[in-house]
Amino acid sequence: MLAGILDHVEEGVLLLDGPVVRWINPAARLMFPVLEQPVGRPLVEVVRDHRIDGLALRARESRLEQAAEVELPISGRILQIRTVPLQDGHLVLLARDITRLRYLETVRQQFVANLSHEIRTPLAGLDLAAQTLSAELPADGDTRLFIDRITQEAGRLADIVFNLNQLAALDAEGIALERLPFSVDDLVRALVDRYQVRAAAGQLVLRAEVVTAGSTALGDRAKTDQALQNIVDNALKFTGSGEVVISASAELSRVEIAVRDTGPGIPARDLARIFERFYKVDRSRGGQPGSGLGLSIARHLVELQGGTILAESIPGAGTVIRVRLPRPPLMSP
């Protein structure tokens, strides 16, 4: 019955006894069509790829599951390979064809890059026209309100285009990163100073809370600053009253920079998705304008440095976004 089920699944399945293929389902035969009779032959002769054979060898020796993504040189197919050791000593090799998925990801990345490039010229023209008209109009009246609205919306579009450019560069791995020590205390204080006027305009308290003074992170200060700006921008945008606190603390191997607000919080069903691209929690966060890209870009920038980012929230009691980065190695005297 199990063999009958596996005959109809889309994932390729091979059963290995040592390096030899003992059973193979039809999906795997389509992925590796070199031999008419693959059963009883060594795996490397069936798949014709030493990377897959090496993955199976590591799984046999370590008795641990192994996984890798492999592009076959002849067919050009991209396969997601998993090798799973069984208790009786056999090995199951699972192959999933993700060629179509990777193609769609490439199309999406190219679309974002092209869109952000093409929209910059008409957007710049719109902004220039609005500023020219603004200089010719009286200070009051309905016309002034409309032209100011056009200018504001052009600014929002410019922010979206900037974020799309950032995503395109991240997708293309076109962002150069530094890996140098930098002062976390100075970074936190600079953020508070930068956003103090905006916080005051919204009648919010913005303050720093340095738990461990003199802490140093290892990474790219400018990219970390950009990620934190996106986080602080979100915190100020969605906090109607109360305060936003940027805190810094250090442990033995990492530093943590946390942004805590007293906003409406995020429902549990949405919390795991807030770092996804274009995801917005409009219903619970007041329907504030935004592209849904800021936190996604922050996650990319932090993870590129070997750090982690996570969110904690209690609906009605606020949200905390924690950025954790590695510390420089301690130097012995």
Is domain 105-171 classified as CATH 2.40.160? no
d(CA 70, CA 50): 10
Question: What local confidence, expressed as pLDDT, does residue 290 receive?
Answer: 60
Name the burial class of residue 10, with classes exposed (0-12), middle (13-18) and buried (19+) by CB atoms within 10 angstroms of its CB: exposed
Structure tokens at 117: 């490039």
Q: Examine the pLDDT at 287 and tell me if it is beyond 60.
A: no
Structural domain boundaries of the chain? Answer: 2-97, 105-171, 180-326
Confidence of residue 332 (pLDDT cuts 50, 70, 90): very low
Structure tokens at 69: 């993504």
Confidence of residue 132 (pLDDT cuts 50, 70, 90): confident
Confidence of residue 291 (pLDDT cuts 50, 70, 90): low
Q: Examine the pLDDT at 34 and tell me if it is beyond 90.
A: no
Distance of CA 304 to the CA centre of its chain: 9
Question: Considering the entire predicted model, what is its pTM?
Answer: 0.64
**Nearest 5°: phi and psi at 150?**
-60, -45
Q: Find the angle CA(98)-CA(103)-CA(106) to the nearest 5 degrees.
A: 130
Say which CATH topology domain 2-97 has: Beta-Lactamase (3.30.450)
The residue assigned the tokens 């208790």 is: 87
pLDDT, one tens digit per residue, over 8-25 is: 788 999 999 999 999 999
The residue assigned the tokens 């619970």 is: 284
Inter-residue contact 274 to 266 (CB < 8 Å): yes
Long-range contacts of 84-88, Cβ-Cβ distance < 8 Å, separation of 24 or more = 84/59, 85/59, 85/60
- What separation in angstroms does the CA of 291 have from each of 45, 121, 288, 323? 50, 20, 10, 21
Alpha helix stretches (DSSP H) within 137-171: 142-171
Question: What local confidence, expressed as pLDDT, does residue 174 receive?
Answer: 61
Confidence of residue 284 (pLDDT cuts 50, 70, 90): very low
Say which CATH topology domain 180-326 has: Heat Shock Protein 90 (3.30.565)
Residue type, 61: E
Question: What local confidence, expressed as pLDDT, does residue 3 receive?
Answer: 67
Structure tokens at 176: 């150069």
- The set of residues, in sequence order, having a beta carbon less than 8 Å from that of 233 and lying 6+ positions away, is 195, 294
Partners of 201 in the beta sheet? none
Q: Examine the pLDDT at 109 and tell me if it is beyond 80.
A: no
In this structure, the number of other CB atoms found within 10 A of the CB of residue 252 comes to 6
pLDDT, one tens digit per residue, over 64-83 is: 999 999 998 878 889 999 99
The residue assigned the tokens 């285009």 is: 161
pLDDT, one tens digit per residue, over 262-283 is: 999 888 888 888 888 877 775 4
> DSSP assignment, residue 264?
-
**Positive or negative: CA dihedral 159, 160, 161, 166:** positive
- The set of residues, in sequence order, having a beta carbon less than 8 Å from that of 91 and lying 6+ positions away, is 15, 16, 17, 56, 59, 60, 83, 84, 85
Confidence of residue 289 (pLDDT cuts 50, 70, 90): low
d(CA 78, CA 70): 6
Partners of 324 in the beta sheet? 256, 308
Mean pLDDT of the chain: 86
Residue type, 312: E
